[in-house]
Each structure stands twice: as C-alpha cells, then as structure tokens.
Amino acid sequence: MRLKDIRAAGKKTFTVVLGSAAEEMTLTLREETIAQHGLFGKESLDEKELETIKADDAYHKALAKAFDFLSRRDYSAASLAQKLASHGHKTVQRVLDHLRETNYVDDEKTLRIHFEDALAFSLQGPKKLRERFLKDGFPKDLVDEVLSAYDEATQRRKVRELFEKTLRTLPRLTPRKAEEKLLATALRQGFDYDVLKPLASEARVRLEEETDIENLLLERISVLKGKYLGKDHKTKDRFMKKLLREGFPYELVRKHLD
C-alpha cells in the first residue's frame, strides 16, 4: 500500500494518507508512532506493517492517557486498568507492563504512601481504610499486610483524637448520650469495637465529672415544656420517656416533672 502523504493534524499527531488516487485511506497517528516506524522515510506499507503500526499507535495513545491520569494522582494497577479499559485489554496490559518496569505503577509503594497519609491526616480506622483500599483496586493480601501496622496502640491514639474532635462539635448532651454518639462515630470510621468501647467509657466518666446534669435537665425541660407540659397524662409520659432516652437519670426526671 503506497504511503502518499504525512501532514500535521494537531498537537503531537499526524494524518497519514495511504492508497491510490482512486481509493485512499487516512490514519491519525501519534508522533511517537511516526518516529518509531520511520514513516517519513517510507514509500509503502504492507498489511502486516500496517497492523503493527495500528497496534503501536493504540499503545502510545493509551500510554499518554495513563500518564495524564498519573500526573494528577497515584493509582493501583487495577484501578488504572479500569480507567483505560476503552483502549482494549491487550493494549492496557502492554501499558501496565511498561509502567511497572519503569516504576510509574507500583502497588506496594503506592499503598504504603496512602496508608501513611491516612495515619497522618485522617481519622479513619483500619476497617474503613481496608474498604477504601480494596475499592481503589489494591490486592487483598497486600492491603492486609500493610494494615497490619495499624496496631491497637495506634487505634487508641486515633480514637482519642476522633473523640476530642467530635465532642467539640456536639451540642450539650448527657454523658450517656454523648458516649453513644462517640461510639457510633468511631464505628462508622472503622475502628474496632473492643478498642474504642473502653475509651468511650473513659470519656463518659470525664463528662460526668464536668457536667451539671440537673442544670442540663432543667435547660431541656425549659426548651421542651411548651410542647409537652400542661397537656394530658399520655403526653407527659412521652415527655418523660424522651428525657430518659436522652440519658437523664429516672429519679431526677421524676423529681422535676412531678
């Protein structure tokens, strides 16, 4: 097949015109493909050469796309393969082989960096991080190996940080209700229950020492009395149950509602 013309088509791309005057075929190829196959010095191409050129150009396009993704953030091999899936399995595997050989993709190195960043800048527990890393495409065995460094001492330190942050944002609550909130928050963040439960109890003891529970109860009654008090017995009973659910002691609630 005669190579009739090569002309610039855009940034880093060329239009290659093949065929005869009666029947032409055009290809848009990246400059890497043009250089790789020395097309400026050729007058014709056979079918085998043409198929090789097409495969190599698909590789160069996918590789450029991969570098574009990697310029913004690190990816696991599996996650990057998913981003490049439209380029075809064979081409993507070729790209990944090159990126591994040149250390642009390294699952273990990338995962360890993500883990260290999570310990430094987030308040997520090991279960939450495991879920996140698996979703990002890192192999299960590697995730488990890296997270083995998230020991109980580290969990306790991070849970205490999480509790302090949470308490700063909570409204005034009874110590029991605050403990429930702390537990729920830490569980959502993926910490182990056996690690966080004693720390939540410790926080509750501290809050009990700091909180004037009777004054807090009177504040709640003052806020809610218009909705509940002065009405029928059932409404008053619902008010009592609400205050009990909020963690106020039964004897104290009876004292101020009777």
Q: Could you tell me if 84 and 38 lie in one domain? A: yes
- Global pTM reads 0.81
CA distance 52 to 49: 5
Q: Please state, as a whole number, how many other Cβ atoms lie within 10 Å of the Cβ of residue 234.
A: 8
Domain that holds residue 202: 152-210
Q: Could you tell me if 60 and 122 lie in one domain? A: no
Q: Could you tell me if 197 and 220 lie in one domain? A: no
- pLDDT tens, residue by residue, 14-28: 999 998 767 888 999
Torsion sign, CA atoms 126, 132, 135, 137: negative
CB 31 within 8 A of CB 60: no
- pLDDT tens, residue by residue, 155-193: 999 999 999 999 999 999 999 999 999 999 999 999 999
Q: Could you tell me if 175 and 190 lie in one domain? A: yes
Phi, psi torsion values for 12, nearest 5 degrees: 65, 20
pLDDT for res 228: 72
Total structural domains in the chain?
Answer: 4
Q: Could you tell me if 205 and 217 lie in one domain? A: no
Give the CATH number, domain containing residue 20.
1.10.10.10
Q: Could you tell me if 174 and 250 lie in one domain? A: no
Decide: helix, strand or coil at residue 178.
helix
Q: Could you tell me if 203 and 228 lie in one domain? A: no
CB 131 within 8 A of CB 143: no
